[in-house]
């Protein structure tokens, strides 16, 4: 069998993490078997589907590294094919027109609710005579098209994740609507369960891989495959992504779209890696840190769990930190500079690229997300307000003398024609500090803490010498020390 799988998102919202995880599993399975990973945009919900959502979905998949084969199929362009399939079912007697009004259906549901019965259509128009149909038409009633579901039917399939599955026709809610209301001489807009069967068959999909919330749909769709005489695909229903309380992950849990994770500073590599682990256990010895290509080489459904996968922020953060720490400074710079520019920041000095790269080398080992690379870089582009710890240090004994001694030597260096370069080397910085500590009569620790408080407005931060050198490139170190002395 040639493996052909598909992702069929609905462009009624942005790319959800659950849809993206389904895409990952489809992609891994296709690449493992040398097959095709296809896309179908299910845009038949005309009121809610939007082109910008389609663009968001395609952009998100591409960002994650999930390349697809062939152009996406646009479902709305195939509506006449879907109507032809419904006409075939009407002609074969597998489907019929139902003229029950919404008011009548609501009364039926209220009676079922009052009696404690499960909600289901009671198949009241399944056996209408031609005369009864004409009477409804004469009243001006429109009709939906319903597919007959035998309550006594048993529907079964072998699921790649969940094993042998069995459903009773009586559990499927009565005869299923497959086309919306329309005049009796027309077929209304085809609905999901019908169109997905027709399109999957047309695309020669060999395996339908989707979330377990589609299991009931699968039972209904298998009946449609049979009635239309179409070949059956293999089904695999993957576990849902759950929040920490064990409920399905939803917008109430905060971040749920791929775009939101991207905006928070998560990398495509880490997010794809993590989504692979949401329901799949890698083979022994593989570890939890891998690329999509490495996962594809090992992927199979024997290692996909049936139980729901709980979203673990700590695991995602760990993976993202691993990815960032493995980046070369040049690669990290490529990722961070656009974020810095979005803040309106630009590097100082005659060699801005070298300055940016040195800042990336300084911050890189402490990053968990790329947004950390913005917040941790902020004091290098914007003058910070000193926090409480910094204010106390600037008022401590010896702080004023220490910073005055440093500033005097910096200003003397600036004025001296003997300075080889406006840059401050590591050796020059260390020598200047030693001179300043001696001149001020303070211990080195007092000097270093005071300098950090003056430059960064905090007693916490990255390597002080490198920080100082970077701020010196624009003269910002002198300006901040003058301000610190004034505040102190």
The span from the CA of 86 to the CA of 178, in Å, is: 8
Beta-bridge mates of residue 238: 211
The residues facing 167 across adjacent strands are 155
Catalytic residue, candidates 113, 220, 248, 251? 251
Give burial (CB, 10 Å; 0-12/13-18/19+) of 75.
buried
Q: Residue ranges of the alpha helices (H) in 265-398? A: 268-277, 292-298, 313-326, 329-342, 352-363, 370-375, 378-381, 388-394
Max distance between CA atoms of the chain, in angstroms, equals 110
Residue 117 in contact with residue 154, Cβ under 8 Å?
A: no
Torsion of CA 333, 338, 340, 345, to 10 degrees: 110
Which are the contacts of 448, defined by CB distance < 8 A and separation ≥ 6?
A: 433, 464
Report the distance separating Cα 359 and Cα 364, nearest Å.
Answer: 8
Residue 152 to residue 167: CA distance in whole angstroms: 10
Structure tokens at 190: 């085809």
Q: Is 16 helix (H, G, I), strand (E, B) or coil?
A: strand
Among this protein's residues, is 251 annotated catalytic? yes
Active-site positions read 251
């Amino acid at each position: 069998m040639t493996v052909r799988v598909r992702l069929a998102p609905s462009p009624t919202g942005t790319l959800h993490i659950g849809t993206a995880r389904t895409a990952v599993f489809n992609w891994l399975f296709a690449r493992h078997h040398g097959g095709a990973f296809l896309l179908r945009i299910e845009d038949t919900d005309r009121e809610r589907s939007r082109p910008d959502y389609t663009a968001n979905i395609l952009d998100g998949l591409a960002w994650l590294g999930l390349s697809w084969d062939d152009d996406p199929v646009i479902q709305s362009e195939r509506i006449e094919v879907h109507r032809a399939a419904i006409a075939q079912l009407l002609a074969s007697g597998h489907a019929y027109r139902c003229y029950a009004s919404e008011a009548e259906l609501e009364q039926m549901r209220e009676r079922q609710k009052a009696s404690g019965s499960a909600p289901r259509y009671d198949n009241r128009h399944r056996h209408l005579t031609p005369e009864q149909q004409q009477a409804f038409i004469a009243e001006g009633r429109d009709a939906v098209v319903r597919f007959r579901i035998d309550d006594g039917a048993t529907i079964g399939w072998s699921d790649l994740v969940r094993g042998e599955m069995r459903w009773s026709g009586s559990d499927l809610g009565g005869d299923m609507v497959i086309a919306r209301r329309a005049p009796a001489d027309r077929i209304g807009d085809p609905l999901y369960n019908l169109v997905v069967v027709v399109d999957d068959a047309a695309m020669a999909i060999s395996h339908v891989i989707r979330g377990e919330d589609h299991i009931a749909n699968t039972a209904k769709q298998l009946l449609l495959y049979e009635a239309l005489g179409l070949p059956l695909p293999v089904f695999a229903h993957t576990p849902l992504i759950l929040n920490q309380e064990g409920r399905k992950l939803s917008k109430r849990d905060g971040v749920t779209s791929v775009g939101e994770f991207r905006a928070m500073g998560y990398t495509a590599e880490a997010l794809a890696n993590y989504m692979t682990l949401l329901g799949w256990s890698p083979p022994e010895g593989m570890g939890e840190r891998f690329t999509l290509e490495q996962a594809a080489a090992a992927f199979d459904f024997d290692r996909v769990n049936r139980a729901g996968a709980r979203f673990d922020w700590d695991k995602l953060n760990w993976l993202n930190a691993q990815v960032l720490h493995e980046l070369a400074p040049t690669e990290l710079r490529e990722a961070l500079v656009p974020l810095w520019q979005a803040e309106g920041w630009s590097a100082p000095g005659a060699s801005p690229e070298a300055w940016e790269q040195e800042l990336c080398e300084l911050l890189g080992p402490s990053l968990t997300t790329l947004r950390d690379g913005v917040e941790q870089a902020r004091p290098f582009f914007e003058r910070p307000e000193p926090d409480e710890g910094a204010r106390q240090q600037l008022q401590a004994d010896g702080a004023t003398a220490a910073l005055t001694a440093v500033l005097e030597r910096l200003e003397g260096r600036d004025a001296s024609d003997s300075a080889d370069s406006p840059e401050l080397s590591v050796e020059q910085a260390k020598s200047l500090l030693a001179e300043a500590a001696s001149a001020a009569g303070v211990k080195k620790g007092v000097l270093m803490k005071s300098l950090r408080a003056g430059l960064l407005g905090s007693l916490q931060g990255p390597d002080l010498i490198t920080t100082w050198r970077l701020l010196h490139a624009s003269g910002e170190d002198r300006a901040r020390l003058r301000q610190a002395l004034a505040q102190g």
